[in-house]
Amino acid sequence: MKKTILIVLMMSIGMLAYGQATIRIGSQAGVDKRIRVAAPPFASADPSLSPVAREMAEVIGFDLEFSGLFYVIAPAEYPPNFTALDPDVAKLDMEVWRMARVDQLVYGMVRTEGNEIVGQFRLFDLFSKQQIVGLELRVAKESPRLAAHKFSEEVIRYADGIPGTGTSEVCFSGGVIGKKEIYIADYDGANAKQLTKHGSISIKPRISPDGNKIAYLSYKDRFPFLYVYDRRTGKSTPISEEPGINATPSWSPDGTKLAMVLSKDGNMEIYLRDADGRRPVRLTKNRYMDTSPYFSPDGSQLAFVSDQGGSPQIYVMPITGGGGTRLSMQGGNSYDPSWSPDGKKIAYVVEKRGAGFQIWMMDANGSNPIQLTNAGGINESPSWSPDSRHVIYATNRNGGSELWGINIKTGQEFKLSKGNLRTEGPSWGPRRQ
């Protein structure tokens, strides 16, 4: 029987660097087809590892719920007599879990070896009573969450063929008014780290396809120049110090080129440069304002914003340049295009009178525009997850600037917050090895 489902789920994830994560899931006029899964605290023969074992289970549970493919049951739904998982997996009673209306069960056993944490992770199908995913993962003692994220990616891959985003990171600009630095964090907000220490305004970071470098705009040398931060060395190198505006860098899929906006010609135009800043090539040549370039996943095209039609709209042009073809037709002004990694969608911002700035999504050819957000304030800077299931963006719906995200199929939303740190301009990076 079809029904309208509206679930508001408040989850507190252990050691979440941004505090609480608020999740809203909406499914209109449909049956909830998510897989019911249990992820109880993992087992360990060493009592001192109990907090780590609990946290790893929570991380996997959050990742699975976040994917939109799973419903993770609450502890209140566990079998009545359940107290803890046994370190001996042979003693697992799958029948009592099946009777609790659970489809699949995540089992884990954690131990230490030297300076490593070793996790043995298993996913059981409770109807066939067979293990369907199993991994043994080793990580440094300070990185237990990484092992949990790696396993969740494989579980999600098993569910629909595409791995999850657990090991991915998000870079962003954070700070207070007048002083902003570049940060990096796990996709779920944990382990946030400040990267730059310029004592100035550094914004609009864009992480490279391999995750090792971050291009960004900074006023650290008085003027708005573009820099690349190398995460391996901790050094920032200028790549564009032209007179006027240097802005909105975008990496090519192979990481060898950067598209950017320069106003040195007296008008905002789009340029292409080598990743080290050399060999600039001008792509647009007109009297209009052309901004916000973004590469297609195959590197053959650039989506960008132009007011050549009288108002800012999303256009697309070949990588060789040109006037472009208009894509956005939904009315209002359009900004901030972001191409999904699978090449099928473009997320962008639409400004309409009375509706504010909202995140929208359309097919890569401009068809089927859909409004994703419906919140007050300004919602901007969309960026896609590596699996093309989610869009993260900045919003001031609650006053200060925060990072939120949305599952494009389920409507699931999440919020990351950390004290009074204002966070904006996110860029979602690749999965880690």
Give the three-class secondary structure for 100. Answer: coil
Q: Which one-letter DSSP state was computed for residue 270?
A: E
This prediction has a pTM of 0.89
State the pLDDT at residue 30. 62
Q: In the prediction, which pLDDT does 13 show?
A: 27
Instruction: Give the phi and the psi of residue 337 in degrees, each rounded to 5.
Output: -70, 145
Q: Is 289 within 8 Å of 307 (Cβ atoms)?
A: yes
Identify whether the C-beta of residue 81 lies closer than 8 Å to the C-beta of residue 35: no
- Predicted confidence at residue 122, as pLDDT, reads 98
pLDDT lower than 50: segments of the chain: 1-29
How many C-beta neighbours within 10 Å does residue 311 have? 13
With b for 16 or more beta-carbon neighbours within 10 A and e for fewer, the 315-354 pattern comes to bbbebebeebeebbebebbbbbbbbbbeeebbbbbbbeee
Taking the mean position of all CA atoms in its chain, how far away is CA 116? 28
> Quick one: CA dihedral 175, 171, 381, 204, positive or negative?
positive
Residue 433: the pLDDT is 82
What whole-number distance in Å separates Cα of residue 76 and Cα of residue 271? 57
According to the 3-state scheme, what is the secondary structure of 188-256? Answer: CCCCCEECCCCCCEEEEEEECCCCCEEEEEEEEECEEEEEEEECCCCEEEEEECCCCCEEEEEECCCCC
In order of 124, 182, 255, 361, the CA distances from 249 in angstroms are: 45, 14, 12, 21
Calpha distance 32→6 (Å, rounded): 10
Distance CA 280, CA 321 (A): 13
Pairing outcome for strands 70-72 and 35-38: parallel
Q: d(Cα 148, Cα 38) in Å, to the nearest integer?
A: 15
Please report the pLDDT score of residue 10 as a whole number.
26
Do residues 44 and 57 touch, judged by C-beta distance below 8 A? no
Cα-trace Rg, the chain = 23
pLDDT of residue 418: 58
Task: Give 228-241 pLDDT, tens digit per residue.
Answer: 999 999 999 999 99
Please tell me the total number of residues recorded for the chain in this structure.
433
Domains and CATH numbers, the chain: 34-160 (3.40.50.10070), 169-428 (2.120.10.30)
